[in-house]
Chain A
Amino acid sequence: MGQFRDVLLLLSRLKAEGVIHDYAIGGAVAVSLWTEPVATQDLDVIVTIAGDAHPLDPLRPLLDWFDQHGQAFEGEHILIAGVPVQFLVAWSPLVREAVATAAETVYDPADPQSPTIRLIRPTYLVAMWQADQGADTPRRRERAAHLREAGLVDETLLTELLSRTKT
């Protein structure tokens, strides 16, 4: 059985080796870590790719790296330490900004050797969902409500982020 910290160590390694420029965790796991845990199927990792990736195949450098290192693929996921990870290339200027401004925190404060974890900030999560009509689902609206209830959404910043996506 794997350990979740190994997922984090691998993400840091991908960044250190220049396979990706940066990463941040989004989706239900990010909401779980900002608020309260919920069951979810997979771990969404949004990446920015270093160098010139082909626009029609932007994840290729990452997939080639996993292929070379014998990492198992499972449908649209890469299985890392028992966790199905879905890698998504940052698909808009807003999402690239969300990755760049992600919060980095210690995974296990009780462990001096703990890796860190990078999370998309709550206001950016809500902005990403609201900016993309396809992402505006009842479940995501509920997650946004959880983030608001916890006082984690900066409404002024949210308005500014959304106004930028409409220009």
Chain B
Amino acid sequence: MKPTSPFAGKAQWHAQQRQLPPREKIRILIELQRREVENNGIRESLGRPAVAMKPWDTQA
């Protein structure tokens, strides 16, 4: 169904994310950990690093 507004579209996307099976959510969680490492590299270059995150050495 076509969303009626940008916010409705976002709500629909979030609702779809919530419906994903556990294994897919764990896969995304691990991907987010990896991206967090990249993001922290950027923060570090700006002089404000966050607590370092270590991605899990595992597959979903």
Contacts and interface: CB of A to CB of B under 8 A. Distances in A.
Contacts of B28: 37
- Could you tell me the dominant secondary structure of chain B's interface residues? helix
A12 B9 CA distance: 40
A131 B26 CA distance: 28
Interface residues of A, number: 32
A83 B58 contact: yes
Range for the number of chain B residues in contact with chain A: 20 to 34
Contacts of A70: none
B25 A37 contact: yes
Contact of A4 (B26, B32, B33): B26
Contacts of A109: 21
Given A29-B26, A37-B25, A39-B36, 19 more contacts: A1-B57, A1-B58, A3-B58, A4-B23, A4-B56, A4-B60, A5-B23, A29-B29, A32-B25, A36-B18, A36-B25, A37-B28, A39-B33, A39-B53, A41-B53, A81-B58, A107-B21, A107-B23, A108-B22
Interface of A: 1-7, 29, 32-41, 81-84, 105-111, 114, 117, 150
